Amino acid sequence: MAADAMIRKNVSGLPSPDLTPTATALNKPLSECKVAICTTAGLRSAGDIKLWMDSSFTVLPNEARDLQLSHFSPNFDRAGLTADLNTAYPADRLNELVDAGVIGSVATNNLSFMGAQMDATFSAIIQDTGPAAAQILIDDGVDVVIFTPV
């Protein structure tokens, strides 16, 4: 079994809160929407690197590319992200899609959480950091959020 297949098998049964999915429908064409990235790769701004374990989040200015990886887990490929940030954080691709007229604009700031959190609770994300993060994007006029894991 390939390494990733083994890890997928190990984590597929992890518990999740029983949440009823809701859908926010777009009220305008995608070509007029402002798009943000919310990554759970544990990226942080240069100089802010650490071993990240909790449910906090950090704001990444859209133009920043000197981002560092603070995800605690060694169990995913890091060379792809090292070679090309867009492998997990497609900020350059979104800018190109703005130029191509596919999306309207990109957010002033993107967001970064740490995925596969060891110390976090679902309650903290649902009640505290999640809503706070959403509000930052809403205040910026964001319409669409894309999530990227590692």
Partner 1 sequence: MSVLAHVFEQAGLATVGISLVRGQAEAAKPPRMLNVDFPLGRPLGKPNDAEFQTSVLMAMFGLLERTDVPVLEDFPESIEDQTGEAPDSCPLPPRHNPELHAAIDEAQGLRNAYDRNLEATGGRTLVGRIAGVDGIAGLIEQFIEIENGSSLADIGWDPMTTIAVGQDVRAYYEEAGLQLADNTGARQLETWFYHQTETGQLIRRVRDLMKEREEDGTAVTYLAPMTQG
Site for partner 1 in 44-103 (CB under 8 A): 46-47, 49-51, 53, 65-70, 72-88, 90, 92-94, 96-97, 102-103
Binding to partner 1 by residue 136, rule CB under 8 A? Answer: no
Q: What share of the chain is helix, strand, coil (3-state, %, to 5)?
A: 30, 20, 50
How far apart, in whole angstroms, are the C-alpha atoms of residue 102 and residue 96? 9
As measured in angstroms, the least distance from the Cβ of 79 to partner 1 is 4
144 lies in the site for partner 1, by CB under 8 A: yes
Min. distance of Cβ 77 from partner 1 in angstroms? 4
Question: DSSP readout, 86-139?
Answer: GGT--HHHHHHHHHTTSSSEE-SEEEEEBSS-SS--HHHIIIIIHHHHHHHHHH
10 Å Cβ neighbour count for 43?
Answer: 29
Restricting to residues 23-42, name those near partner 1 by CB under 8 A.
23-26, 30, 33, 38, 40
Q: Decide whether 59 or 138 has the Cβ nearer to partner 1.
A: 138
The SS3 of residue 85 is helix
Instruction: Select from 13, 99, 101, 139 the one that contacts partner 1 (CB under 8 A).
Output: 13
Looking at 104, 109, 137, 139, which residue binds partner 1 (CB under 8 A)?
137
Cβ at position 132, least distance to partner 1 in Å:
10
Kindly state whether residue 139 participates in binding partner 1, applying the rule CB under 8 A: no
Burial of residue 19 (CB within 10 Å: 0-12, 13-18, 19+) is: exposed
